[in-house]
């Protein structure tokens, strides 16, 4: 089962994306977002990126989504829309699921598909090793490189985040 | 908006475009586009009326979609070429998608529908930044990938943009919509020559920016957003009337004004590349644009438009509005034609 863990997690990932893209009420969207975020972490963890996966869990799910959940709970309506209550949402969800199922069947029937690049069956996505070069963990070295060679990227990213906050406050000020 | 926030946000708009211009890594270019788009939203929403918010939302949606397309095509390019450097794009799928993403950002047809609506919903100064500064970044990326761009696609977009910009602007009385359709047409001229001689596209962009900046500043000086209010110019600011005449005719591309330089060089470059029908069509569709520019000129400077009597006898106050850089802009927008041999050697 462990060799197929990435495939299973990817299926859950994609199904939960269809779940919140069909636009239920934000509470349920947030719920499915948590599931998809957690499963995405699982995929990153399976490829050996333990630090990055835990960071996403802690900061994204445990910080940002928690705040999102609280604000949505404050602003929610009396009867929020769930997937089964509104035909449009249910229809969108089923369309999303069906299109993913169809693309999976298209890939599996020939065991090889070329959409933009060649996809050679399940062999591409099975984990045999974590991708370490042996002596040091590539992923931790990458994060370390972000703060040494990638200083400009840190500056730009930090500035973009600050601007994101300023812009949102400016836009919602309204007077 | 508080001055500190305005300075921060404006500098981020500039910083975003600078990052796009000066990066060689595709990811940083995408980051620059996103920073630019995010920071210009509050500038578009300077006035808090529903029209401005609707315009900002439309702008945000189209630009975000274009950025997503850009990211997808960057990843496809990475898969096929194996590197993140901005150079020619070997994969035709990635190349087509990058072209479509960038033309969505520019407002070329068939992705032009947001331009008049967004320009109309925002104030004149925000519209000025939208139609001039925001065109620099996508055109610079098109310049860098121009050897690998699908020429059929870009030329189709160019000719349809010219038709849309010409016919769309014919029935307009709102000045911001007229300038939006003028922007669509000029982007069409730039896209047409991008495949054959990208330097001329940059030349066209420079002269277009100068002309549009001058036009917007003249409109802002008299706070006129409709043809009717522009027609009171002869009484409010008598000096502005002939200036509007010169600038409008320059936008239309009439010799001996500067607006003729890009059109002349583009048609010459296209005929050097054995294309005869295309520049003929382009020159003919430029007449559509010229019609509504001369109509603006006619109502402003050449006739006394029907007006009530109190509009024809205004108190002549001394103006307190700053006309920063207006004089050099008007001079460069109208009198650069003798310098054409020097401008064409830009590389």
Rounded Cα gap, residues A106 and A109, in angstroms: 6
CATH number of residue A111's parent domain: 1.20.120
- From chain A, the residues in CB contact with B80 under 8 A are 117
Same domain, A124 and A139: no
Which pair of tokens denotes residue A81? 């829309």
State whether A71 and A143 are in the same domain.
Answer: no
Q: A114 and A151: one domain?
A: no
pLDDT at res. B13 = 95
Neighbours of A21 (CB within 10 A): 13
Q: What is the pLDDT of residue B58?
A: 95
Q: Which domain does A170 fall in, by range? A: 132-174
Q: What mean pLDDT do residues A122-132 have?
A: 55
Same domain? A35 vs A120: yes
pLDDT at A123 over 60: no
Number of compact structural domains in chain A: 2
Residue B338's Cβ-count burial label (10 Å; 0-12, 13-18, 19+) is exposed
pLDDT at A126 over 60: no
**DSSP reduced 3-state for A119:** strand
* CA distances (Å), origin B259, targets A136, B205, B255: 61, 11, 7
Which of residues A123 and A142 earns the better pLDDT score?
A: A142
Residue B271 contacts residue B196 (beta carbons within 8 Å): no
In this prediction, the residues of chain B whose per-residue pLDDT falls under 50 are none
Q: Which residue of B has its CA nearest to A153?
A: B28
Contacting residues of A for B9, CB less than 8 Å apart: 163, 166-167, 170
The answer, yes or no, to whether residue A117 has pLDDT greater than 70, is no
Specify whether A112 is located in the same domain as A38.
yes
Are A86 and A140 within one domain?
no
Q: Domain check: are A138 and A121 in the same one? A: no
**A140 and A111 in one domain?**
no
pLDDT value of residue A127: 54
Alpha helix stretches (DSSP H) within B226-276: 227-230, 233-236, 240-252, 260-272
The answer to whether the Cβ–Cβ distance between A156 and B35 falls below 8 Å is: yes
pLDDT (0 to 100) of residue A104: 77
- In whole numbers, what is the pLDDT of chain A averaged over residues? 82
Query: Which chain A residue lies closest to B92 (C-alpha atoms)?
Result: A116
Q: What is the C-alpha to C-alpha distance for residues A118 and A59, in angstroms, rounded to an integer? A: 35
Regarding whether A139 and A66 lie in a shared domain, the answer is no
Out of A72-81, A104-113, A120-129, which region has the weakest mean confidence (pLDDT)?
A120-129
Provide the token pair at B104.
Answer: 């969505």
Torsion of CA B251, B252, B256, B261, to 10 degrees: 70
Does A151 share its domain with A167?
Answer: yes
Does pLDDT of A109 surpass 90? no
CA distance B78 to chain A (A): 11
Cβ–Cβ contact B78 with A under 8 A: no
What percent of chain B has pLDDT above 70?
A: 99
Q: Where are the domains of chain B?
A: 3-345
């Amino acid at each position: 089962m462990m060799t197929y863990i990435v495939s299973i997690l990817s299926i859950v990932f994609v199904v939960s994306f269809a779940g919140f893209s069909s636009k239920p009420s934000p509470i349920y969207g947030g719920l499915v977002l948590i599931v998809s975020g957690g499963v995405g972490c699982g995929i990153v963890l399976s490829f050996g990126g333990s630090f990055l996966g835990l960071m996403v869990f802690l900061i994204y799910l445990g910080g940002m989504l928690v705040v999102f959940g609280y604000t949505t709970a404050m602003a929610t309506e009396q009867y929020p829309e769930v997937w089964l209550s509104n035909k449009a949402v249910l229809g969108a969800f089923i369309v999303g699921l069906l299109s993913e199922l169809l693309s999976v069947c298209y890939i599996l029937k020939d065991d090889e598909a070329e959409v933009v690049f060649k996809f050679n069956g399940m062999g591409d996505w099975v984990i045999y090793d974590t991708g370490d070069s042996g002596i040091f963990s590539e992923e931790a070295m990458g994060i370390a490189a972000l703060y040494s060679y990638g200083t400009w990227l840190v500056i730009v990213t930090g500035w973009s985040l600050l601007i994101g906050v300023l812009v949102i406050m400016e836009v919602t000020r309204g007077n | 908006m508080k001055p500190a926030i305005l300075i921060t946000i404006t500098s981020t708009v500039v910083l975003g475009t600078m990052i796009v211009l000066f990066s060689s890594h595709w990811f940083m270019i995408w980051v620059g586009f996103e920073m630019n788009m995010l920071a210009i939203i509050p500038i578009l929403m300077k006035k808090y009326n529903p029209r401005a918010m609707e315009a900002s939302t439309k702008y945000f949606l189209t630009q975000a979609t274009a950025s997503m397309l850009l990211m997808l095509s960057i990843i496809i390019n990475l898969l096929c070429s194996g590197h993140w450097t901005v150079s020619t794009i070997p994969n035709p799928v990635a190349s087509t998608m990058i072209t479509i993403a960038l033309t969505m950002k520019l407002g070329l047809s068939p992705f032009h529908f947001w331009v008049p609506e967004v320009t109309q919903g925002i104030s004149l100064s925000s519209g000025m930044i939208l139609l001039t500064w925001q065109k620099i970044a996508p055109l610079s990326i098109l310049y860098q990938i121009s050897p690998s761009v699908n020429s059929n696609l870009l030329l189709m977009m160019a000719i349809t943009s010219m038709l849309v910009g010409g016919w769309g602007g014919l029935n307009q009385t709102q000045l911001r919509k007229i300038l939006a359709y003028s922007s669509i047409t000029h982007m069409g001229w730039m896209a047409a020559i991008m495949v054959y001689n990208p330097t001329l596209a940059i030349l066209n962009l420079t002269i277009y920016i100068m002309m549009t900046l001058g036009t917007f500043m003249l409109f802002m000086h008299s706070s006129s957003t409709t043809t009717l209010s522009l027609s009171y110019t002869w009484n409010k600011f008598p000096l502005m009337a002939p200036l509007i005449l010169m600038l409008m005719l320059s936008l239309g591309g009439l010799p001996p004004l500067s607006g003729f330089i890009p059109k002349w060089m583009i048609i010459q470059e296209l005929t050097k590349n054995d294309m005869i029908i295309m520049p003929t069509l382009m020159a003919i569709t430029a007449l559509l644009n010229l019609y509504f520019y001369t109509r603006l000129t006619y109502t402003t400077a050449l006739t006394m438009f029907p007006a009530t009597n109190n509009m024809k006898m205004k108190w002549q106050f001394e103006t307190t509005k700053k006309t920063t850089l207006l004089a050099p802009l008007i001079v460069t927008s109208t009198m650069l034609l003798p310098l054409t041999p020097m401008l064409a050697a830009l590389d």
